[in-house]
Structure 1
């Protein structure tokens, strides 16, 4: 079985920094590559990137640079940067490359697979991280983990899965192999629809939804709308899945906040189309009302409409 020795990461947002910083302490520097365009590389090198107060000593590589394909390629970009990222990683994908996509939502694997083939992909979600990124500085209390696996349980003990397990064991990276990973992808989507959007519209942090009150009730109601739709899509999420995520949320730092809340605070366009936008479209498809997600969608769009459009419209790859 081939050993994973080289890793490439694209997307230096909160998750990219967290994963990259950990791996940079466990691998030879030249074997871990952070893919970024020249403009970003100049900025990262001039300003530095910090994780829990430590300077990150990253090995940057531009998309144009020729290199050996990566054994493991990890996408940690925002959804709106996915198309650009898929093109940017082409020099890093070879015959034996394994691809993990830690993006939010339920579609990124299929989109990446259209270019590089689904045979290279394992389904993946990041969970349990309570990181906050302000400028070039990331702080977190809980690192969380990457959950990954094949789409369905009958495929799960494959060589791809075993190669990633061995690598994460070797680098002491927290992980979980999930037997029915497509279902977990939907389950994490349900969480994001609830927690990301609710904390964002309340302008708060995890503490707001960890305690009883209006925000927590709204979050759970938004998640239940996804649960109902999942049953129409033959995924069959249930109340036990909601309870699972409520228990995970209780472990997070109360001062932490999800990415959408951080986006709205920084006056960046959010992933609202990926969350409630998807819920509304599925609701129309199945003729099921989704009033909570409609309210969240409208409120977030209203907040974004107050931005300076010249600033907010800038694309992001991080």
Structure 2
């Protein structure tokens, strides 16, 4: 199959980043940004900007009838996933391929339960240093999407179709045949960097240098690595080193989504990160004191909004 029609739901940092890139390489009518009518009105009135350039998006409301998407991309926050699943109903057809750029290790399963696991590829977004303030996004590194099949060791026709589309649209990507390990690796990174930078109310530069913030981040990541073994995924120090190298290439002034949430006094995805770690720690009777401290500190910050 050839991917021609693409729909994106979620116009946060990743939605703007991906949408802006694709809008320059696709016919406008073939790239649909799904949003409710109130949001569409706001986007059209105030504009949406990417690196100071106004985005020229084709908006469509959930109620509007349309051809199903060949590729549907979820870029919402986890707490908005259920609403997003309902909103994309008209965009899902028999042959629609779905990828989720959400954080965590569970969105693919939730989407698969709604529309069929056969439609969903495993995906990880990495290497972005985008910062969104209001309706304006700035970034130095666009990063890439890493994706592959649910089952290890294969490259399906769906994966080949997405790969061909990304090549055609010059969208940075990588195909892997062991995506479950990659999902856990990205989860380990997010648990460390998102929460630590949020607690320190800083940026990537804070954890790129030696010091207490970097030490806390790595300790939180090691707790995830210990838990991964119990889940049949063995993350090692080599995996931690890999993700530290990814972090080292980001703009020091950039910051992860949770730090941006705390700065804007929005409720964060702490339950998705430390909350999941604490739950798994209880399940396997493994102490997770660093994530407990991070959870307590972030929820305290949020309680004072």
| TM-score bin, normalised by smaller chain | over 0.9
Structure 2 distance, partners of 1:4, 1:148, is: 16
Q: Which residue does 2:21 correspond to in 1?
A: 22
**Any runs of at least 4 consecutive aligned residues in structure 1 with deviations exceeding 3 A, and if so which?**
none
Matched, 1:162 2:178: no
TM-score (norm 2): 0.99
Structure 2 distance, partners of 1:234, 1:33, is: 38
Structure 2 distance, partners of 1:150, 1:241, is: 21
SS in 2 for 1:8: strand
Q: Which residue does 1:32 correspond to in 2?
A: 31
Q: Which residue does 1:270 correspond to in 2?
A: 268
Matched, 1:289 2:275: no
Structure 2 distance, partners of 1:296, 1:79, is: 19
Matched, 1:150 2:149: yes
Map 1:1-318 to 2 at 5 A.
2-155=1-154, 157-307=155-305
Per-residue deviation at 1:151?
2.2
Structure 2 distance, partners of 1:233, 1:159, is: 28
Structure 1 distance, partners of 2:27, 2:151, is: 34
SS in 2 for 1:207: helix
Structure 1 distance, partners of 2:190, 2:60, is: 31
SS in 2 for 1:154: coil
Structure 1 distance, partners of 2:82, 2:152, is: 29
Per-residue deviation at 1:240?
0.6
Structure 2 distance, partners of 1:207, 1:179, is: 32
Structure 2 distance, partners of 1:51, 1:133, is: 9
Per-residue deviation at 1:182?
1.0
CA RMSD of superposed structures (Å): 0.5
If asked which structure has higher relative contact order (CA below 8 Å, sep 6+), I would say 1
Per-residue deviation at 1:290?
0.1
SS in 2 for 1:284: helix
- Cα deviation, 1:109-132, whole Å, max 9, x if unaligned, reads 000001100000100010000000
Structure 2 distance, partners of 1:190, 1:220, is: 9
Q: Which residue does 1:314 correspond to in 2?
A: none
Structure 2 distance, partners of 1:144, 1:131, is: 9
Structure 2 distance, partners of 1:80, 1:173, is: 27
Structure 1 distance, partners of 2:180, 2:8, is: 22
Structure 2 distance, partners of 1:298, 1:261, is: 15
Unmatched 5+ stretches in structure 2: none
Structure 1 distance, partners of 2:200, 2:176, is: 32
SS in 1 for 2:218: helix
Per-residue deviation at 1:29?
0.0
Structure 2 distance, partners of 1:152, 1:229, is: 21
Structure 2 distance, partners of 1:179, 1:220, is: 27
Per-residue deviation at 1:178?
1.4
- Cα deviation, 1:138-187, whole Å, max 9, x if unaligned, reads 000000000000124323x1100000000000000000001100110010
- Cα deviation, 1:13-71, whole Å, max 9, x if unaligned, reads 00000000000000000000000000100000000000001100000000000000000
SS in 1 for 2:235: coil
SS in 2 for 1:33: strand
Structure 1 distance, partners of 2:268, 2:179, is: 26
